[in-house]
Structure 1
Amino acid sequence: MENGEVVKEYRIALGANPKGHKQEEGDNRTPEGDYTLDYVINDSAFYRSVHISYPDAIDRLEAHRRGVAPGGAIKIHGLKNGETQSPQFIQSFDWTNGCIAITNEEMDEFIKLVKMGTLITIEW
């Protein structure tokens, strides 16, 4: 958003079990809440990534209270390197382990549009 106006919207793919806030490592959920876009990762298993500041202190405390690991390494990223299916097909269902996926072209645009340190709200 810029000056209260939406600048760009993307069709996204979420964790394979997307409804509800991420509870623990391996639950295939995308975290919900307020986080920060930390930094760009150009060398990963996916075409470019932006790290999201999950887990925050509240997520860690809640996971500790329940005796589980909160998980981490949550990112906004492009498609998996070497993916041969069309981006339109890949974006037609939720398939990540908890990350937010967009197409490679959209990822390039996203990195140009968004400054690191930007606060984001993830909600269903």
Structure 2
Amino acid sequence: MKSKPLVLMVGAVAAVIAATAALGRSAEPPLPANARADSVLIDKTGHTMTLFSGGQTLRTYVVSLGRGGLEAKTREGDNRTPEGNYRIDARNPRSAFHLSLHISYPDARDTAAAVTRGEKPGGDIMIHGIRNGLGWLGTFHRWADWTAGCVAVTDAEMEEVWRVVPDGTPVEIRR
């Protein structure tokens, strides 16, 4: 009879693992193969990132942001997500996080403001998936803002974003 509790425990753990894996997948069908975003809006207060094409919403994702709070990024190491108008200016398929699209922060205004304060503006702000090896977290990553100033989505969502957001796409980040 001692094996019955063990079987129940193993079954419960398997159910939790299966549910966690399912949470990483979107309930929505994937965007069409020919879908292309022409702008991205990141709303920090709403914790959302919306992809647009021709003024129409393609898809909205729930995101995690920088763990330094909702205030605008002002300096290196503040762990905040910047605010302003930027562009996707690079992509990294070998990122420490599941794929990453680089946002062109800091721009000249961000740099000048930081220099005036005697600080460095920081950099390496990305849209990315979950840290490699932790993708099983799925949507659980949204429970807290955990990045160093980046914008994070699930790995499955990042694969879609990677596919439909070309280099040069404008990105507005606002509170």
TM-score range, shorter chain: over 0.9
1:58 alignment partner AA: R
Alpha-carbon distance in 1 for matches of 2:173, 2:97: 21
Identify which of 60, 75, 78 aligns with 1:9: 60
2:131 alignment partner AA: K
* Contact persistence 1:18–1:98 (CA under 8 A): no
Identify which of 84, 94, 97 aligns with 2:145: 94
Shift of residue 84 of structure 1? 6.2
Identity %: 44
Shift of residue 31 of structure 1? 0.3
Alpha-carbon distance in 2 for matches of 1:59, 1:84: 32
Alpha-carbon distance in 2 for matches of 1:42, 1:84: 15
Unmatched 5+ stretches in structure 2: 1-51
Considering fraction of residues, name the structure with more strand: 2
What is the TM-score of this pair, normalised by structure 1? 0.95
Considering fraction of residues, name the structure with more helix: 2
Greater Rg over alpha carbons, structure: 2
Dislocated runs of 4+, deviation >2 Å: none
Unmatched 5+ stretches in structure 1: none
Alpha-carbon distance in 1 for matches of 2:79, 2:158: 21
Q: Deviations over 1:61-118 (max 9, x none)?
A: 0000000110000000000011165212112211000000001101110011111100
Alpha-carbon distance in 2 for matches of 1:67, 1:122: 24
What is the TM-score of this pair, normalised by structure 2? 0.68
Task: Quote the residue 2:90 is aligned against.
Answer: 39
1:51 to 2:102 alignment: yes
Alpha-carbon distance in 2 for matches of 1:22, 1:28: 7
Shift of residue 42 of structure 1? 0.8
Task: Quote the residue 1:64 is aligned against.
Answer: 115
Structure with the bigger RCO (C-alpha within 8 Å, sep 6+) is 1
Identify which of 126, 143, 156 aligns with 1:105: 156
Task: Quote the residue 1:118 is aligned against.
Answer: 169
> How many residues are aligned here?
124
